[in-house]
Amino acid sequence: MPSSSPAKPVSASASVIVARMGPAQANSAGFVFGGAIMALCDEAAGTCAMRHARSRVVTAKVSEFTFEAPVNIGELLTVKTSVNAVFGSSMEVGVRVEAEDLQSGEVRHTTSAYFVMVAMGEDGPQDVPDVEPDSPDAERRGREAQERHG
């Protein structure tokens, strides 16, 4: 059953988390653990989904988690998220991670993932408003999400 609330634009819930990576998140070679990056991605996806649903959410699935490049100690990670599509009580949230070398200013794409988050009410999953693409990129991401989950 679809939500009775009006659709929300993608930009209304898009979220960004920024964190500087230190030795506690890295191995002895100076590379940040994949698990530390995954945890940041889960936190960012949850924030985005909560902003869209305006309710508690849980992570139901993570797919296509791809590490494109390593992240080094001292780099600044920017985790960008947006709701790509809504499926009743669940939402696909796209995640893109970029690392910035604070000395050179170089920014590079390091990680991409898709999280399926489920909105939770007092009695279990609850439907959320649909998402309205508000850019050509958001339209493309929505189509691709439908293909992944359709």
Tokens for 130, please give them.
């649909």
pLDDT of 1 higher than 50: no
State the pLDDT confidence band at 2, using cuts at 50, 70 and 90: low
Q: How many domains does the chain have?
A: 1
- Give pLDDT tens digits for 38-77: 999 999 999 999 999 999 999 999 999 999 999 999 999 9
Round to whole Å and give the CA distance between 127 and 84. 16
Round to whole Å and give the CA distance between 55 and 52. 8
Q: Which amino acid is at 61?
A: K
Q: Model-level pTM?
A: 0.94
In this structure, what CATH number is given to the domain that contains residue 124?
3.10.129.10
Q: List the domain range (segments joined by +) for residue 111.
A: 8-149
Identify whether 23 is part of a domain.
yes
Identify whether 2 is part of a domain.
no
pLDDT of 3 higher than 70: no
In the chain, DSSP finds a helix count (H) and a strand count (E) of 3, 8
Identify whether 1 is part of a domain.
no
- Give pLDDT tens digits for 19-43: 999 999 999 999 999 999 999 999 9
Identify whether 3 is part of a domain.
no
pLDDT of 150 higher than 80: no
User: Under DSSP, is residue 54 helix (H, G, I), strand (E, B) or coil?
Assistant: coil
Backbone region of residue 136 per phi and psi (left: phi > 0; alpha: psi in -120 to 50; beta: other values):
alpha
Average pLDDT over residues 126-141: 97
- Give pLDDT tens digits for 93-106: 999 999 999 999 99
